[in-house]
Structure 1
Amino acid sequence: MNAQELSWLALWGATALYAIAMVASSVHLSRVADARASAKGKVPAGVAASHAGDASARPASASAGRDPAVASKATGIARATTLVGALLNGVGVVARGIEAGHAPWSTMYEYTITGTFVAVVVLLLVQSRRDIAYLFPGVTGFSTLALGLALTTLYQESTGLQPALQSFWLVIHVSIAIIATGVFIVAAVATMLQLMRDYRDEEPAAPGGLVRRWRNANVRLFKRWNWLEAVPSPRTLEALSFRLHAVGFVLWTFTVMAGAVWAEHAWGRYWGWDPKEVWSFIIWVIYAAYLHARTTQGWAGRRSAVLALIGFVALIMNFTVVNLYFQGLHSYA
């Protein structure tokens, strides 16, 4: 078996294991939600009133993964398959690098397989410090789709590096960009859950304009999604999301700066309004606005979450639309 075959098999194996982890972790969350709903029904009204707030408002020590009602096979399957999937994902990336003869970060295919690996590693690292079982379905589901798309659509035969990429800056600039992307993926999942839980906890407002109708539609939708009972309170999710976004923003800042230095070495200028450069800066501005608004302008809650998700959409567009449809000096990526 050569490096190409090893990479291919390892990545397909990782895709399958991530899919299993997504299903198992979803079953886990549904059982947590059922257990909490059942516990609520058994609590006397007076006791419930003296402990106002839903089950998700409990401290971290009483989080979903430590709830006695959810000590099931689904929990172990989800974590084991995620870990083994990450190991296979890493093997696939390393084997691709051996096959290509250089760091495997020069094409969309290589960026995708490495980015999914980083996202799952970030998930596992945070999980080792605090229970975040509620993030597993989203992150493993995203990784399943991303790897499947990479293997079926984005795959390219390994070739030598173009002259502009034959630099040590490839390792510095692109590796940091990939790590930042992995962090932003996990942060985006936490932010989406924050919004869902926030709408679920809200009561429908009186009929009104378009905005109010949109909000009421979301409230009614997420109140039907009982598995959201297994998700922590919006405030807890927002705190986790903010920390992850802050780390990702620092890494993305370094990515933009390193890219400018590399551009000066390769093309003789720090900035040239290339589509990739412009979109990377737009992403930086959106996330900077999110962090600034969240910390200094009191944009806590739904508004800051929407702004963070706009940043993630811009990140995805930078990787897909800009790479595929805009011509520039970064078209090889």
Structure 2
Amino acid sequence: MNVTELSIMTLWGATTLYAIAMVAHAIRLARVADDKVAARAADREAVAVGGASPAEPSAATEAAASSRPSRASKAAGIARSTTMVGALLHAVGLVARGIDAGHVPWSNMYEYTISGSFFAVAAFLVIQRRRDVAFLGAGVTGIATVALGLAMTVLYKDADTLPPALQSYWLVIHVSIAVLVTGLLTVSFIASVLQLMRDSRDSGTRWTGRRLRFLEAVPSAASLEALSFRLNAVGFVLWTFTVMAGAIWAEHAWGRYWGWDPKEVWSFVIWVLYAAYLHARTTQGWAGRRSAWLAIAGYAALIANFTVVNLFFQGLHTYAGS
């Protein structure tokens, strides 16, 4: 087995494990939500018959709460282990690709996709060590599964030498931070989407009824918003460095800091959107749904910068779509 085959095999293995992890995370959410609903129903029944007060769980409540903990725990264990092993295989695939290409694997859309999806999963695992964010697991592993699947089937390109414009140490400085930010903002995006869904459910919106019962296992909209804000704040600082490093690299490569290249323009648009989000959130009192939608708009611009701009716009960064 050569390095190319190792990279492809491990990345397909990671894709498979992420898909299994996504299902396991979803099952865990569903079972935790069912347990919470059953526990509340048992409490209401106990209060109705005078068997217990709301402050003291009844025997029925305790039975409902313990009826399926082993099943939920089993799903959580499978989700956690498959995510971690998938990330390990993903890392091996990335390293093997870099060895095969002879440079860091960030020179085209295929390499950027497999790198960005890895950093999304890695960010989730790092955050998970500090606080319980298992409710984000289904979204993170789901996006990683789709990203890797598209990379392996649609975007794949054989390893090649770097174009002259990329033969610089600034590739490591500039693109590494951009890939890291992409992963971090992906996790934040999932939190914002869950925030909107949870807020809609709490406000009684009809479409978030029984079909989205899993939201019972998700924290409050306020907690999700706080998590998203912290991640976006870190992402904004890193994206600012990305834009600045790109400008310095442009001056070294092309003799100017800024030239209104499509990639440069969209990078600035992303910066403006996240700056507006942070400004509105911290000084203008924007909270709740408005801030979540603004954060989602920033992430949509990030994805557009990677897909639409790379594929359909001509400029000095055209090599990024190859």
Same topology, TM > 0.5: yes
TM-superposed deviation, 1:137? 0.3
- Structure 2 residue identity aligned to 1:129: R
Q: Which residue of 2 aligns with 1:159?
A: 160
* Alignment partner, residue 150 of structure 1: 151
Identity of aligned residues (%): 67
Output one character per residue of 1:197-221: Cα deviation in whole Å (capped at 9) or x when no partner: 0000003xxxxxxxxxxxxxxx211
Alpha-carbon separation, structure 1, partners of 2:156 and 2:182: 20
| Residues in 2 aligned to 1:326 and 1:220: alpha-carbon distance in whole angstroms | 41
Q: In the alignment, residue 83 of structure 2 is paired with which amino acid?
A: T
- Counterpart code for 1:187: S
TM-score by length of 2: 0.91
1:85 corresponds to which residue?
Answer: 86
Residue 2 in structure 1 maps to residue 2 in structure 2: yes
SS in structure 2 of the partner of residue 232 of structure 1: coil
1:293 maps to 2:280:
yes
| Cα distance in 1, alignment partners of residues 301 and 130 from structure 2 | 30
Give the counterpart letter for 1:254 in structure 2.
Answer: F
User: Does the Cα contact within 8 Å between 1:32 and 1:70 map onto a contact in 2?
Assistant: no
Shift of 1:42: 1.4
For the pair 1:245 / 2:232, whether they are aligned, the reply is: yes
2:206 to 220, 227, 233: 220
- Mapped partners of 2:56, 2:223: distance in 1: 21
Q: Distance in 1 between matches of 2:16 and 2:72?
A: 24
| Contact 2:31-2:72 within 8 A present in 1 as well | no
Partner residue in 2 for 1:257: 244
Contact 1:32 1:69 in 2 (8 A): no
Q: Distance in 2 between matches of 1:235 and 1:96?
A: 41
Q: Alpha carbons of 1:31 and 1:273: their partners in 2 closer, same or farther (altered >3 Å)?
A: same
Q: For 2:187 and 2:289, how far apart are their aligned partners in 1?
A: 18
Distance in 2 (CA, whole Å) between partners of 1:223 and 1:176 is 40
| 2:185 is aligned with 1:184 | yes
For residues 70 and 191 of structure 1, the distance between their equivalents in structure 2, rounded to whole angstroms, comes to 28
- The answer for the alignment partner of 2:62 in structure 1 is none
Give the match for residue 117 of structure 1: 118
Q: Are 2:265 and 1:302 aligned? A: no
- 1:41 maps to 41
Aligned residue number for residue 314 of structure 1: 301
Which residue matches 1:59?
Answer: none
**Unaligned segments of structure 1, at least 5 residues:** 52-66, 204-218
* Paired position in structure 2 for 1:19: 19
Matches within 5 A, 1:187-206: 187-203=188-204
Q: 1-side partners of 2:56 and 2:246: how far apart?
A: 56
CA RMSD of aligned residues (A): 1.6
Task: Report deviation, 1:72.
Answer: 2.3
Structure 2 distance, partners of 1:162, 1:281, is 24
Q: 1:255 to 1:50 in 2, by over 3 A?
A: farther
* Matched letter for residue 118 of structure 1: F
Q: What is the aligned residue count?
A: 303
**What is the letter of the counterpart of residue 255 of structure 2?**
G
Secondary structure, aligned partner of 1:332: helix
The list of structure 1 runs, each at least 4 consecutive aligned residues, that deviate by more than 2 angstroms after superposition, is: 44-51, 67-72
Aligned 8 A contact 2:10 2:92 in 1? yes
Q: What is the match of residue 281 of structure 1?
A: 268
Deviations 1:177-227 (A, max 9, x none): 000000000000000000000000003xxxxxxxxxxxxxxx211123111
Q: Is the 8 A contact 1:18 1:85 kept in 2?
A: yes
SS of alignment partner, residue 130 of structure 2: coil
Do the aligned partners of 1:35 and 1:69 also contact (CA within 8 Å) in 2? no
Query: Per-residue displacement from partner, 1:225-272 (whole Å, max 9, x unpaired)?
Result: 111111110001001111111111111000000000000000000000
Deviation at 1:127, TM superposition (A): 0.5
Give the direction of change, closer, same or farther, for the CA distance of 1:257–1:18 in structure 2 (3 Å limit): same
- Most deviating of 322-331 and 155-164: 155-164
| Matched residue SS, 1:262 | helix
Select the residue among 267, 270, 273 that pairs with 2:254.
267
Taking structure 1 as the reference length, the TM-score comes to 0.88
Q: Read off the aligned partner of 2:277 and give its amino acid letter.
A: Y
1:271 alignment partner, SS class: coil
